[in-house]
Amino acid sequence: MRLALELSEVGFTVEAACPRGSQLEKMPFVKASYRYHPIAPVALLRKTIRRSAPMLLVPCDDYVRRQLHELYNTTQSDKADGSWLKALIARSLGQPEHFALLYSRYDVGSLARELDIPAPPTAAIGDRSVLMTQIATLGLPAVLKSDWSWAGGGVFIAYSNQEALRAFHRLSASHGILRTLKRLAVNRDPTLVVPCLRRHRPVVSIQRFVPGRPANAAVACWQGRVLACVLVEVLASKGPKGPATVVQVISHPGMSRAVEVMVERLKLSGLCGFDFVLSAEDDTAQLVEINPRATQTCYLIAADGKDLLAALYGALQASQPTPRGPPRREPLALDPMEVAQPSGDRFVEGAIYDIPWNSPELAALKPTSRAARVDPS
């Protein structure tokens, strides 16, 4: 919701496709809303896009991005509106030939090293013998990841051979009916339904563990060119693999270079993100993952004062709106994420809760937390 608010602040007219009962439907900065359900056929997504006729598509989670890939691949250019729809998706996301690579952890790691970007060695795992061979090469702990997963759900850090084997079997298994029904009933998350029905078996990779501090980049880009980039160090998160709850805007030449090189090589457009680990040895930024959709820090202002959303608006409208303000230098407790760290944590202690005061409706939804202080400035 915060991204929708800030997009409207820089001049975009925002319309949203969201599940029934979403708070987005009630927000005054969302001019129109359309019903969306993750297990609905791609044909319904096509219908929604045609009704809205947008200038730009901004997927906010990996599942929607994947559906847009499928929509592009199944749309015929010679059909009614087919050429327009495919051009819209390509304009919003980047070159279609790179769509599949973006969700392959092995391919992303290989490309990074090919481009001389620091990245931990990564290998695809086909069976347990390959897994044991790679552990002997990469050492322990090691990070196992499944393709087409998100929010840390397909990532395990293994500290022993036994843990690695258990993680491999879990990550490479097709999504069972019981697990899918549990996710649907308990978490109200239907995103496993389609993979379950298709008996999809994810590809698993192993990556050398890099000791250090997590960091990420939120990027606005256009046809392979970086328009603006917000770099943050993650000071607290919901668990070791979960989303960030407290961040601090930083500058880091290594992160900036990696983003520029990857965006140019993959010809990306729109909003996307990159995950790094700042090495504990020498502070080198090790690229560990690409998030090819809008990320939670896209609305922040970069350390150099650039505004991602204003820059994106300028690329579409050939004009430059007034940036929304200077960067915040203090640790920020992100909205709407609740600070999950104890109040004694040294990072959280001085954090400012980033409440969107320019929207009374969103400000009223702020979660309560004793680990951050409120700053109405």
Residue range 121-208, CATH number: 3.30.1490.20
pLDDT classification of 198: cutoffs 50, 70, 90: low
pLDDT classification of 19: cutoffs 50, 70, 90: confident
Average pLDDT, integer, range 82-105: 93
pLDDT score for 104: 87
Say what percent of the chain tops pLDDT 70: 83
Residue with tokens 């001049």: 11
Task: Answer yes or no: CATH 3.40.50 is held by domain 2-97.
Answer: yes
pLDDT score for 307: 95
Quick check: 356 and 363 in contact, CB under 8 A? yes
Q: Mean pLDDT lowest for which of 89-98, 223-232, 344-353, 363-372?
A: 363-372
pLDDT score for 149: 65
Name the average pLDDT for the chain.
85
Burial class (CB in 10 A: 0-12, 13-18, 19+), 341: buried
Condensed to tens digits (0 to 9), the pLDDT of residues 286-295 reads 999 999 999 9
Helix axes 105-114, 253-266, angle to 10 degrees: 110
Average pLDDT, integer, range 135-162: 86
Instruction: Give the residue range(s) of CATH 3.30.470.20 domains in the chain.
Output: 212-374
Instruction: Give the residue range(s) of CATH 3.40.50 domains in the chain.
Output: 2-97
pLDDT score for 201: 65
pLDDT classification of 374: cutoffs 50, 70, 90: very low
Token pair belonging to 182: 């549990």
pLDDT score for 347: 47
pLDDT score for 376: 43
Residue 247 to residue 256: CA distance in whole angstroms: 17
Condensed to tens digits (0 to 9), the pLDDT of residues 47-85 reads 999 999 999 999 998 888 888 999 999 998 878 789 999
Q: In 3D, which of 285, 240, 296, 235 has the Cα closest to residue 262?
A: 285
Of the two residues 83 and 344, the one the predictor is more confident about is: 83
Q: Mean pLDDT lowest for which of 4-13, 83-92, 201-210, 321-330?
A: 321-330
What's the CATH superfamily of 212-374?
Answer: ATP-grasp fold, B domain (3.30.470.20)
pLDDT score for 63: 82
Burial class (CB in 10 A: 0-12, 13-18, 19+), 362: buried
Residue 136 has pLDDT above 90, yes or no: yes
Instruction: Give the residue range(s) of CATH 3.30.1490.20 domains in the chain.
Output: 121-208
pLDDT classification of 369: cutoffs 50, 70, 90: very low
